[in-house]
Structure 1
Amino acid sequence: MNRYGRVDLLIIDELAYMEVDRRASKPLFQILTKREEKHSIAITSNQSVSG
């Protein structure tokens, strides 16, 4: 967790590629909130906005 919180830019590729269950979403949410307003995050997906 600390490793992902320290990098200057965190790139999360294909976030919508697989469905994320509740157990897996908790650490992802923790990483995102730890980085909030401190470091950059880039999230990509091939899904349409409506998808």
Structure 2
Amino acid sequence: MATVLKQANRAEEAIDAIRSFRDRCPNEARESLDNILLDLYKVSRACKFTYIM
């Protein structure tokens, strides 16, 4: 779901989705989720930086 939201330029919603459901995932999946979350933070920050300029 988060990947689809990212592709739709809705990174903030994707971040919220991962953060709200991360604790329900098994420990083995958390590293993968964390990697997606880091990528979303980068995209989100880049979007905010673009708006400032």
Tell me the TM-score normalised to structure 2 length: 0.42
User: Greater strand percent: which structure?
Assistant: 1
Tell me the TM-score normalised to structure 1 length: 0.43
User: Greater helix percent: which structure?
Assistant: 2
Instruction: Report 1 or 2 for greater relative contact order, CA contacts < 8 Å, sequence distance ≥ 6.
Output: 1
